[in-house]
Amino acid sequence: MENTPGVTTSTRMPVPDTMKAWVIGDPDELVQVEKPVPVPSRAEILIRIDAVAICATDLEIIHYGTPALIEGGSPFNKNFTPGHEYMGTVAALGEGVDEFAIGDRVTVEIHAGCGQCKRCRQGMYTSCLNYGLNYGDVKKGHRANGFTTDGGFTEYAVNHINTVIKVPDTMSDEEATLVVTAGTSMYGLTELGGLVAGESVVVMGPGPIGLLAVAVAKSLGAAPVILTGTRDSRLKIGKELGADHVINVKDTDVVGKVKDIAGQQGVDYVVECAGTETAINDAIHMTNRGGKICFAAFPHDPATIDLPHVVKNNMYMYGIRGEGKSATHRAMAFMAEKRFDASLIHTHTFALDDLPEALRYARERVDDAIKVVVRARDAEQQLKAVSK
């Protein structure tokens, strides 16, 4: 790569020709292989991956294939590397890049839209109309690392500069991997209106996105912030992240409980992160007239919902995809300023070679795992790199 025209490298950070990478074989099958290290093109950088978090969507892709779309179809047996919540160190610069320097610590967001379609021109690059339609030809511009192009369960990845955010020295690698999760929560609240100060918000489902939605909503001044779920241990973390009230929905009229807290008219906003038919209808019935609901989960099945109630009460419903409209940048600003401690949801760490076990912990929620992080470089290597 050192002699590639237009690519800037440094002897302080030599780049190998090949790297270890995990690829999907059949459903639920991961194989570790050697791949060529990718070369950054114009307006791209090469990132040496230091840590990557496991998202529930990664588990979906490895099992079901969707929402990944490789060469116009499922990702199975196509030498595809999943994983999208990663951070690392800039190792090489593509042509025309002066926004970053080799050695910068950075974290990433997933989507770089084509920049040409209607949605991208509106800033909705997570809804790029060319999503998955470039069939691996990145010259069209669209990338969604870990979805339509190779992701982060490897040692190096190429990212467009629009998808990269600098990481402050005060932030650990593990916390930096959580910026995408916080960015997704931020995007949901952005689509609900953005200015939520003084508004009542319910977050349904204390998974990673739900827990950080609590933190973001509280940081934006929402009041009260109510978290609902079935696990007391996670509801407790929600309290630490700023929830004013928590409700365990087991054997409980959750809509009634919410209205007891926020008033019988219901709440202004709901961020629904559970994805079940019951949760969706509960969200509808706890929202006040003219209120707004954000659907952040990926439901597996179609749902029957009380649409007449939605229409009669002039409600607004939004589905979000990813962390659009630069929400990760806003999330990073909050995290860098310590508005909330996202690291509270990080529960387990594994080495890259142990990815299958890390995925098992995340999938089966072993030891009440919430956010599992995989390190591509161990702590000793990291300390040596910093000391240099």
Shared-domain flag, residues 31 and 161: yes
Shared-domain flag, residues 100 and 158: yes
Q: How confident is the model at residue 136 (pLDDT cuts 50, 70, 90)?
A: low
Q: pLDDT value at position 244?
A: 98
Mark 120-140 as b/e (b = at least 16 C-beta within 10 Å). Answer: beeebbbbbebbbebeeebeb
Q: How confident is the model at residue 156 (pLDDT cuts 50, 70, 90)?
A: very high
Q: How confident is the model at residue 383 (pLDDT cuts 50, 70, 90)?
A: very low
Q: What is the pLDDT of residues 71-127, one digit of tens each?
A: 889 999 999 999 999 999 999 999 999 999 999 999 999 899 888 899 999 989 999
φ/ψ of residue 223, rounded to 5? -160, 130
Shared-domain flag, residues 154 and 39: yes
* Sign, Cα dihedral of 102, 108, 112, 115: negative
CATH number reported for the structural domain that contains residue 268 in this entry: 3.40.50.720
Shared-domain flag, residues 378 and 315: no
Average pLDDT, the chain: 92
Q: pTM score > 0.85 for this model?
A: yes
DSSP string, 342-381: GGGGEEEEEEGGGHHHHHHHHHHTGGG--EEEEESS-HHH
Q: Which range, of 187-201, 217-231, 306-320, averages the lowest pLDDT?
A: 187-201
Shared-domain flag, residues 25 and 151: yes
Shared-domain flag, residues 213 and 86: no
Range of the domain at 264: 182-319
Shared-domain flag, residues 253 and 296: yes
Question: What is the maximum span of the chain, computed from C-alpha positions, in angstroms?
Answer: 68
Q: How confident is the model at residue 137 (pLDDT cuts 50, 70, 90)?
A: low
Q: What three-state secondary structure class fits 262? A: helix
Q: What is the pLDDT of residues 322-353, one digit of tens each?
A: 888 889 999 999 999 999 999 999 999 999 99
Note whether residue 29 is domain-resident: yes
Shared-domain flag, residues 377 and 274: no
* Angle 125-165-156 from CA coordinates, rounded to 5°: 90
* pLDDT > 70? residue 380: no
CATH number reported for the structural domain that contains residue 35 in this entry: 3.90.180.10
Shared-domain flag, residues 292 and 232: yes
* pLDDT > 80? residue 384: no
Residue 4 CB burial class (10 angstroms; 0-12, 13-18, ≥19): middle
Shared-domain flag, residues 377 and 345: yes
The two structure tokens encoding residue 233: 């241990």
Share of the chain above pLDDT 70, in %: 96
Q: Minimal CA–CA distance to 145: which of 274, 34, 275, 47?
A: 47
Total domains present in the chain: 2
Q: Which range, of 99-103, 133-137, 276-280, averages the lowest pLDDT?
A: 133-137
The two structure tokens encoding residue 195: 């200015």
Shared-domain flag, residues 163 and 186: no
Shared-domain flag, residues 30 and 161: yes
* pLDDT > 50? residue 386: no
Note whether residue 125 is domain-resident: no
Q: pLDDT value at position 27?
A: 97
Most confident residue range from 85-89, 191-195, 382-386: 85-89
Q: What is the pLDDT of residues 215-251, one digit of tens each?
A: 999 999 999 999 999 999 999 999 999 999 999 999 8
